[in-house]
Amino acid sequence: MCDTCGQTLAWFDLVPILGFLKNGGRARCCQAPIDPGLPLAELLSGLGLCALVQANLPLTWPDSIILATWFLILLGLSLLDHCYQFIYPVLLLPLVATYWLTPGVDLAEFGQDALLALGLLLGLGIFAKVTRGLGGGDVYLLSLVGFQFGLAIVLWTLIFSCGLCLLVCLTHYLRGRFDPQAPLAFIPYLTIGLVLTQIG
Ligand SMILES: [Zn+2]
């Protein structure tokens, strides 16, 4: 439905990018301006998927579905976190589903992976509560990374994302623009960190 007047939208209003262009960047129902970040996010998703195809990775079909799902969800979560410092936890569900597409996954392995994910959820959850250094979305996402990719990838993701985040904060600090009280969206850093572990 329309965010402004609540009217139900038609399917053709929701066609990525074209829906925005067709109505000149305004809602068809009430002429309210549409956030240009939305078509931009759609464009980024499309270009990112094209880049994945172009990269010509030697992937079988379940791997490419897993990779594409993680890529689109992480991009969406990063944009949400960056713009609103908030994520919809329901967006994490497809990342649980991709686990079952992993080739050769069996019940014994599932038990181990689920135990690791629960351990991470509990450990990082307590860390987040005590230090207020991580948000709930970060904790859920890291637990799911453990579930799908294993503990080593969680640790490397943390090393890469913390290093990158420190670098960005240091740059802001040196330019006199660092505000220690400002909320920090960490999911974009986690996303880049996870991508780096997959490239390396
Ligand atoms: Zn409207």
State the distance from the centre of ligand 1 to the C-alpha of 28, rounded, in angstroms: 7
Separation of CA 16 and ligand 1 centre (Å) = 18
Tens digits of residue pLDDT in 112-166: 999 999 999 999 999 999 988 788 899 999 999 999 999 999 999 999 999 999 9
Q: How far apart are the first and last CA of the chain?
A: 42
Residue listed under structure tokens 């974009």: 188
Q: How many whole angstroms from 91 Cα to the centroid of ligand 1?
A: 25
From CA 34, how far away is CA 3, in angstroms rounded? 9
Would you state the pLDDT for residue 111?
92
Phi, psi of 149 (to 5 degrees): -115, -15
CA 89 – ligand 1 centroid, Å: 26
- What's the gap in Å between 9 CA and the centre of ligand 1? 8
Its pTM stands at 0.76
Instruction: Report how far ligand 1's centroid is from the alpha carbon of 13 (Å).
Output: 11
Distance 93 CA to ligand 1 centre (A): 29
